[in-house]
Amino acid sequence: MKSNNSLIRLNEKSCTNCQSCIAACSYGALTFDVYPQFDFEACTLCNACVDTCPNNALHLYIPEDRYNQELIKDGDTIWVVVELNHGRILPVVFELIAEANRLSIQYRQPKKVVALLMGEHSEYLIDHLFKYGTDQVYYAHHPRLNLQLDEDYASVLADLAIKHAPSIILVGATSFGKAVSARAAALLHTGLTADCTALHIDPQSENLIQTRPTFGGNLIASIETKRHRPQMASVRQAVMKTLEPNPKAKGETIKISIPDDLLLSNVQIIRNEIRNTIFSLSDAQVIVAGGKGMKTKANFDYLNELASLLGGQVGGSRVAVDKGWITHDKQIGMTGLSVSPKLYIACGISGQIQHMSAVTSSDTIIAINNDPDAPIFQYAQFGILGNVEEILPLLIAELKMGEKMVDVFQFEL
């Protein structure tokens, strides 16, 4: 053995000097000098070298004092943190509850789905959580929690997680959710994967496999939290499907009174102002999106008009953003927003995977494109082959006239 203090140990007898461990290290922490040499300043203990070694010559050594305190027994619950906006539960919370149900049944022994609701006088929301698939609600109440400060939420979340040991904690990848989950993960000394787009349970290890785009969307990474609990993930909005609500569903509510000294935030609210915020594209029920085939910024006026007639919003492909026809906050796709409207109308969009990966949860996709071989037609339930500059004015005129198109476009909003 190389060194008793090493965190990764080499068994020289098994090592054949094949150097595959050196190639596997993304952090430059391994060099070769007779045998592999470790730079533990650079090493992140990612385990890639250990996993790669064909001769099992490398082993991860975990000193008792370094890790044992942090190892928490795997719990029998999956938690979803409830985020509110002006007293309403954000749609992503219901998506996460549905996903927690889907994860639960992938375990050999299914886990309970728990929603963590924080605030004061928020009891009226509990039935909604049951209706959408929650088994149990932890209702952590204190008047200060109504201020929704990320430090306070994180402190309460970490405290309750230490006491009740959930296996998984899911949080919406909103700016608030990301701030809460990052703080809570630090308090819990556990891993966190931000901005996940897919989750599943590994059938062997029963670890949570957390999938997210990385390196600007060029790679898809699957991340595991192997040695720590809880496993934490923030999940993009509008990627997971909600369950059909069951109005008769009931569950157990556990009320927890939060002591003042757990609320650590130094933030003082001087005044509250309600900003005239635009409804997020991720929550829109109808989206009219334009791509390079729209040709000019002026042609986006058609999209604005169509969207306003349908009570929807306008989005665009990355090319439309790059050309300055629409702002980046309206970009739909792998490096933009994920959406799941009831109706998605794609105008002059070819349907590349980086765009389509973010819209496939839409209930109905209508594509307008002048190329019969455009990939978008493989995703669309309705396709209109033709020039957007001719078809959009016709659609708008029909809608303005009233009834004719309404059967196609009227959705329950």
Ligand X SMILES: Cc1cc2nc3c(=O)[nH]c(=O)nc-3n(C[C@H](O)[C@H](O)[C@H](O)COP(=O)(O)OP(=O)(O)OC[C@H]3O[C@@H](n4cnc5c(N)ncnc54)[C@H](O)[C@@H]3O)c2cc1C
Q: Interface with ligand X by CB under 6 A: which residues?
A: 216-218, 291-293, 317-320, 331-336, 348-350, 352, 354-355, 368-371, 374, 387-389
Q: How far apart are CA 261 and CA 184, in angstroms?
A: 16
Nearest to 170 by CA among 114, 108, 247, 223: 114
Query: Smallest gap, in angstroms, from Cβ of residue 397 to ligand X?
Result: 17
> Closer to ligand X at the Cβ: 136 or 354?
354
Query: Smallest gap, in angstroms, from Cβ of residue 390 to ligand X?
Result: 8
Q: How far apart are CA 376 and CA 386, in angstroms?
A: 13
> Closer to ligand X at the Cβ: 11 or 299?
299
Judged on CB neighbours under 10 Å (0-12, 13-18, 19+), 4 is exposed
Give the amino acid at 237.
Answer: Q
> Closer to ligand X at the Cβ: 11 or 370?
370
**If DSSP codes are grouped into helix, strand and coil, which group holds residue 48?**
helix
The residue with its CB nearest to ligand X is 333
Three-class DSSP labels, 309-326: HHCCEEEECHHHHHCCCC
> Closer to ligand X at the Cβ: 166 or 336?
336
Q: How many CB atoms lie within 10 A of CB 46?
A: 14
Query: Smallest gap, in angstroms, from Cβ of residue 304 to ligand X?
Result: 17
Query: Smallest gap, in angstroms, from Cβ of residue 298 to ligand X?
Result: 14
> Closer to ligand X at the Cβ: 91 or 217?
217
Q: How many CB atoms lie within 10 A of CB 277?
A: 8
Query: Smallest gap, in angstroms, from Cβ of residue 225 to ligand X?
Result: 26
Query: Smallest gap, in angstroms, from Cβ of residue 347 to ligand X?
Result: 7
Rounded to whole angstroms, what are the CA distances from 130 to 86, 127, 164, 245?
A: 20, 5, 20, 9
> Closer to ligand X at the Cβ: 195 or 389?
389
Q: Which residues contact 261 (CB under 8 A, 6 or more apart)?
A: none
